[in-house]
């Protein structure tokens, strides 16, 4: 996919710039030609010499270099590439691109290009979560800019959370996905509106656990961090979809550029999902509690001589309900199967019983660290069979799953 593809790599000024060096190597291993632009701040983290040695090409830094302008002006430099990748995409670079600034070489190239732009954000979690950054990201997605990451993780500043840049191989995969379609944009119509695999589509995702109250301080729940569901919502938004995320109680932040609805119980989740329809794709990634207490106590149940007896009722089956709709059923209905034994066998049974199109199955038994962890190993179960994916970060699982679903949706239309 990358053989002879021309990548213009804009390296931003952040500590994650060191990963751009490995990215250059990975791209060239796959046959791509890489030309690099260093922002002034980036030169404090990586040297022009190291970038030039790895790319095998001249490094561009100065907008007003007369020699460079004579050899290749900034307009030609931006148009000569098949794709522009901004790695790392700092808060400053995202702000410049969102507001159309062009006061240095990097921002001028981004404004002048007629090719796809892929950004790999990296910044402190507080910067990523700032309303200004969220607005900029939402605007850029609307303009057609593609995103990969960021992911949750430890940062150089010592904090942990969203804002860590995706790993080089994830960025390579995102670049490959972006280059599946034509890279040029007809001018002058629709300048800046880049083709995305789910552009114009509506996607509804559920994520996290549900909490079924017993009394004001106790509840029934499943173990779920919401990381996989939130990552899927982000990946779908990156692919251009209009995404509604229905989230149970989680401790992670809402994805940028995604409409998020917060609920507590399974019944509330079902109502929110129905209200979010119609949709082209429904992805039920939430770990919904199977049971609820029929009568919630208004006061805390006190410990006594005998254990209290709880009367339970079965919760609504959200996946089966949406898959079984006779009117307004999404074209693709995707369920998750968290199993501790006979993973694929149970997933195949669930596929048939729930009447959905895809089951994403994983082993959540003791020692797997899937619930709450950053990585996942999944089996994609369809009527055609079972495909097992290697262990990867949940953000990478999400990107690959969204790519698969966009292909399936295209074949059905």
Give catalytic residues, as residue numbers.
Answer: 157
CA distance 96 to 41: 14
CA distance 88 to 173: 16
CA distance 32 to 43: 23
- Is the CB of residue 226 less than 8 Å from the CB of residue 252? yes
Token pair for residue 265? 């119980």
CA distance 363 to 375: 12
What sign has the CA pseudo-torsion 384, 373, 19, 65? positive
CA distance 194 to 408: 21
Other C-beta atoms closer than 10 Å to the C-beta of 254 total: 18
Q: Measured between alpha carbons, how far is residue 333 from residues 67, 324, 330, 337, 359 in Å?
A: 56, 10, 6, 13, 9
CA distance 164 to 155: 6
- Is the CB of residue 322 less than 8 Å from the CB of residue 330? yes
Residues 198, 199, 204, CA angle at the centre, nearest 5°?
60
């Amino acid at each position: 996919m990358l053989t002879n593809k021309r990548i213009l790599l804009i390296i931003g000024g952040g500590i994650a710039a060191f990963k751009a060096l490995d990215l250059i190597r990975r791209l060239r291993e796959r046959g791509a030609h890489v030309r690099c632009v260093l922002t002034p701040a980036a030169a404090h983290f990586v040297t022009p010499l190291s970038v030039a040695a790895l790319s095998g090409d001249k490094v561009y830094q100065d907008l007003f270099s007369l020699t460079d302008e004579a050899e290749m002006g900034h307009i030609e430099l931006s148009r000569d590439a098949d794709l522009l990748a901004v790695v790392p995409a700092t808060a400053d670079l995202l702000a410049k691109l969102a507001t159309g600034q062009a006061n240095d070489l990097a921002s001028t190239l981004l404004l002048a290009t007629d090719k796809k732009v892929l950004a790999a954000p990296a910044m402190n979690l507080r910067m990523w979560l700032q309303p200004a950054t969220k607005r900029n990201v939402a605007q850029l997605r609307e303009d057609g800019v593609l995103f990969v990451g960021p992911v949750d993780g430890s940062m150089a500043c010592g904090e942990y959370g969203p804002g860590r840049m995706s790993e080089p191989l994830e960025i390579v995969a995102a670049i490959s996905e972006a280059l599946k379609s034509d890279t040029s944009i007809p001018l002058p119509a629709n300048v800046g509106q880049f083709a995305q695999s789910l552009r114009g589509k509506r996607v509804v995702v559920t994520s996290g656990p549900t909490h079924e109250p017993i009394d004001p301080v106790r509840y029934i729940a499943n173990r779920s961090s919401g990381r996989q569901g939130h990552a899927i919502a982000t990946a779908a938004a990156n692919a251009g979809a209009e995404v509604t995320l229905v989230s149970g109680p989680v401790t992670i932040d809402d994805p940028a550029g995604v409409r998020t609805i917060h609920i507590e119980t399974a019944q509330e989740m079902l109502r929110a999902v129905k209200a979010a329809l119609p949709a082209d794709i429904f992805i039920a990634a939430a770990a919904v509690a199977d049971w609820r207490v029929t009568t919630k106590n208004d006061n805390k149940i006190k410990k006594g001589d005998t254990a209290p007896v709880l009367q339970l009722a079965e919760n609504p089956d959200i996946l089966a309900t949406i898959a079984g709709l006779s009117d307004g059923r999404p074209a693709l209905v995707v369920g998750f199967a968290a199993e501790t034994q006979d993973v694929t066998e149970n997933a195949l049974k669930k596929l048939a019983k729930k009447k959905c199109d895809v089951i994403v199955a994983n082993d959540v038994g003791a020692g797997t660290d899937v619930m709450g962890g950053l990585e996942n190993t999944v089996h994609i179960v369809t009527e055609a069979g079972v495909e097992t994916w290697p262990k990867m970060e949940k953000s990478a699982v999400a990107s690959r799953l969204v790519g698969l679903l966009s292909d399936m949706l295209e074949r059905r239309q």
